[in-house]
Amino acid sequence: MKTILVVEDDIAILRGLRDNLKFEGYKVIEATEGNKGLQLALNENIDLILLDIMLPGLNGYDICRKVKQQKPELPIIMLTARGQEVDKVAGLDLGADDYVSKPFSVPELLARIRAVLRRYNKKERDVDQFSFGEITLDFKKYEATVKEKKVNLSAREFEIMKYFINHANEVVHRHDLLDQVWGYETFPTTRTVDNYILNLRKKFETDPAKPKHILGVHGVGYKFEP
């Protein structure tokens, strides 16, 4: 589960961001003033910062600069009501990874968060062959066997399994699967993911209704346990 630090002094906006991010499966840490935000950014295990510019205490520019000096790998998305190009350039020059002007579309902001996190994600390792239980997957030949009997898998199902293998024992969000396996330009839905998982369970699980390997995580997505 990814952790997002929201540094925002407008309580209504802060609550809205918190609720939407939690609904999407993120853990949220909050700060309403700059000094506290900087402290949390430097001392906590954060995956991304949503950072307002106009804050009590340290402003967003100062926080961005200090964070990037000590944690250059920590992505930052700037939030501000100031929409002038010079403000955007200033934030980006300090190392911000993206910039969203208020009022913003929540779906667009969530898409930007996923895109930024994707850029910072570690490179997926290439998998040639993988076995779990009585199942063997050969990603070079695109062949799958269960109890040494061949099972037909589509190319998409192989890609889903490769992603699961790279993230074994981690909670995988449906949106991550959509983004990494399908790509957002194809406009699939989370229901598409659920249907593919259902089919994979039918092929791999002894009892698809009580899976042992491809587990559901309510309200978030799935976890692959080899």
Rounded Cα–Cα distance for residues 209 and 201 (Å): 8
Which two three-digit tokens encode residue 187? Answer: 């406009």
Residue 149's Cβ-count burial label (10 Å; 0-12, 13-18, 19+) is: exposed
Q: Which tokens belong to 90? A: 């200033």
Residues in contact with 219: Cβ distance below 8 Å, sequence separation at least 6, in sequence order: 23, 25
SS3 content of the chain, % helix, strand, coil (to 5): 45, 20, 35
Q: Whole-model pTM?
A: 0.56
CB 3 within 8 A of CB 26: yes
DSSP string, 29-75: EEESSHHHHHHHHHHS--SEEEEESS-SSS-HHHHHHHHHHH-TTS-
Residue-level pLDDT at 83 = 57
Which CB contacts under 8 angstroms, 24+ apart, belong to 191-200? 193/221, 196/156, 196/157, 196/160, 197/160, 197/222, 199/157, 200/157, 200/160, 200/161
Segment-wise mean pLDDT, segments of 10 residues, the chain, 226 residues: 92 94 92 95 91 91 90 88 62 80 87 84 72 93 93 93 88 82 66 92 94 91 92
Q: Specify the residue for token string 């906006």.
A: 13
Three-state SS at 188: coil
Token reading at 209: 């209704």
The confidence score (pLDDT) of residue 101 equals 84
Q: Which domains does the chain have, with CATH numbers?
A: 3-120 (3.40.50.2300), 129-224 (1.10.10.10)
pLDDT of residue 89: 67
- pLDDT at residue 13, as a whole number: 93
